[in-house]
Amino acid sequence: MGLTGGVPTGVAWCLLLLAGGLRLSGGRARPLGRALSPVEVGLLRGGAPGAAQTGLVELYLVGAVEAGFRQTVRGVETRLPPHGSSAVARAQYGSLYRGMHPRRLRDYERVRDAIGETAQGLERAGLLMSGRRRWAVRALLLPVFAAAPLEAVAGGRTAVWLWLALLADVTAVASWAWSRRTPRGAALLARLRLEHAGARRATERDDPGMLLLSVALFGASALRAQLPRFTEEGGLLTRPPREPMERGGRGGWHETSGGCGGCGG
């Protein structure tokens, strides 16, 4: 028995509704009971890239890293990250090997682990979707992509069902790429941006703390406007070269030279 026109589309929209409900349901949240750190704000705004950018700027503002050769960053061995630095910043400092593009640095295992541990706190607080919930949503979305082809095979009486199937496919694509922010996380980010709009006027010399928060909240626009030289020379917003400039193992030069052994905490 062949498919009846409209059935694939109806099933697709049911799956979309289920995926949307699963995404919007907050589940049990345990409030952090404290203000978010800049790296946590960066993670909430821009995911792993946002957290890594913020951690790198955190290191730069305390003099622990500087722009290197050809859009790379490099560690300053004489300036260790101070006590209280974020786990992401410490992981990046400990992974630097000579001059390295920021995106390559972000791919190091210890940096990924530090970002993952930071994300777990935001997941428990109900600000980010957990990885398990995100994959459950995507599992519901996968069959939706077959709606338009199946509708075309079913051959409904009108073109309405095919157009609805195509709309379902487009909606599924948008939902697939959606941020991990929950409604609670999106509301918090919007409130922080409103409350700290003045951070966009902070300078490196006058108020580095607010400058770091500006980068965490506003990302690329803050980097270009408030740290243009470090952003350009350090390659913070560029793609890495096709051939890696750095050579050697995955261990940072701070490990082999004895630096940063117990920095931060």
Cα first-last separation, the chain: 66
List pLDDT tens digits, range 139-150.
Answer: 777 787 777 776
At 104, is the pLDDT very low, low, confident or very high (cuts 50, 70, 90)?
Answer: very high
User: In 29-108, where do the E strands start and end?
Assistant: 65-67, 73-75
pLDDT in tens, 119-137: 999 999 989 987 777 777 7
Number of C-beta neighbours around residue 11 at 10 A: 18
Summarize pLDDT for 15-74 with one digit per residue, the tens. 778 777 777 775 666 777 789 999 999 999 999 999 999 999 999 999 999 998 889 999
Residue pLDDT, tens place only, 89-100: 999 999 987 889
Q: Phi first, then psi: what are they for 96, rounded to 5°? A: -65, 135
Whether 215 has a pLDDT exceeding 50, the answer reads yes
The overall average pLDDT reported for the chain is 82
Q: Please report which confidence band the pLDDT of residue 263 belongs to, taking 50, 70 and 90 as the band edges.
A: very low
